[in-house]
Amino acid sequence: MQYRKLGNSNLELSVITFGAWAAGGWMWGGTERTEAVKAIRSSYDVGVTSIDTAPIYGQGLSEEIVGEAIRDLPRDTIQLLTKFGLRWDLSRGSLHMKSKNTQGESIDIYKYASKESIIKECEDSLKRLGTDYIDLYQIHWPDKTTPIQETMEAVSLLIEQGKVVYAGVCNYNVDLLEEASHYINLVSNQVPYSMVKRDIEHDTLPYCIQHNLSILAYSPLERGLLTGKMKPGYQFASDDHRASLHFFTDANLTRIDAFLEKIAPLASEKQCTLGQLVLKWTIEQPGITIALAGARNEKQAQENAASVNIDLTSTEIGFITKQLNELKLVK
């Protein structure tokens, strides 16, 4: 495993970080707790020491699963990343989305990041994770109803209290990054980035490189799309959010499949899966510090971690990018 430092911090994360959204089951067609715990432990055994979660993932379930998985591990060998700012138990702020919880009951999720709310969320996360500090605390989505100054000063207070070590953000554009940086030392921005979603390359990525902010790329496999395991006609569970995304239409699955066939010979040559090749390409892109990769079981976890060991030359990376640039998806 490789490890990279976040921004101007002393915090080093495993280049492949365990993404625990699916572990919570919410919007992923449920979860199997025992398998999720095993996946996290298996990741740790092969060097994936960093775990990213959030309260909203399973409405606390993902954090509880992470807490269970790390219970007997030395705390100073693990980096816990979690978030705040999405409330399903409080109707304040602005409505983010309507959803269903893991019991199938309707819930409204709000973007809300006031000082009082952040303090409560942090305490709840610490309890669920079974720890007394969070290595990286990130606002999950921008909250237009709360001044950024109030939000960042609340996180600063948590840092002063020793409950949080470093501050990060998620889904922030350049303007929001600039404003937040006036009030706190940010070390990272967690944003979506994959072979088929490269919007950040225009503005956000150059800004982060210039200002020494690390990019934590989430959904690098585009929710399983880039693994090669989904073909036209693929059926999702009724509560699986992917069914409504344009990436997963039959037309786009056909196009993605054709692209993956073009790079499949390279995967065979490297003796790796398509998913591993995709992860390796991602972490070799300029400005991408780490990639978050979820796993449902031990095998997936080990495969994700092993992607770091693939040797790709600049010519081979360029070949993949060339094929990628010719890919046209239908929105």
With CA atoms as reference, report the closest residue to 151 among 211, 57, 84, 212: 84
Domain ranges of the chain: 3-223+276-310
CA 12 – CA 49 distance, rounded (Å)? 10
Cα 180 to Cα 198: distance, rounded to the nearest angstrom: 23
Is the pTM here over 0.85, yes or no?
yes
- The reported pLDDT for the residue numbered 279 is 97
Q: How far apart are CA 279 and CA 304, in angstroms?
A: 8
* Nearest CA-CA partner of 47 in 305, 308, 288: 305
Tens of pLDDT, residue by residue over 30-72, are 557 888 899 999 999 999 999 999 999 989 999 999 999 999 9
The DSSP annotation for 110-163 comes to: EE---HHHHHHHHHHHHHHHT-S-EEEEEESS--TTS-HHHHHHHHHHHHHTTS
Per the residue annotation, which of 44, 57, 112, 137 is the catalytic one?
A: 57
Cα-Cα-Cα-Cα dihedral sign, residues 175, 180, 185, 187: negative
Whether 110 sits among the annotated catalytic residues: the reply is no
The size of the chain, in residues, is 331
Return the pLDDT at 228.
Answer: 82
| CA distance linking residue 263 with residue 261, whole number of Å | 6
* CB burial readout 9-31, b (16+ within 10 A) else e: bebebbbbbbbbbbbbbbbbeeb
Structure confidence at residue 174 (pLDDT) = 98
Instruction: Point out the residues of the chain with pLDDT beneath 50.
Output: 28
User: Is residue 151 a contact partner of residue 181, using CB atoms and an 8 Å limit?
Assistant: no
Please tell me the distance from the alpha carbon of residue 39 to that of residue 20, in angstroms, as a whole number: 10
pLDDT at 25: 56
Is residue 211 within 8 Å of residue 188, measured between CB atoms?
no
CA distance 199 to 201: 5
Write phi, then psi, for 257 (nearest 5 degrees): -60, -40
What superfamily does domain 3-223+276-310 belong to in CATH? Answer: NADP-dependent oxidoreductase domain (3.20.20.100)
Residue with tokens 């025992």: 34
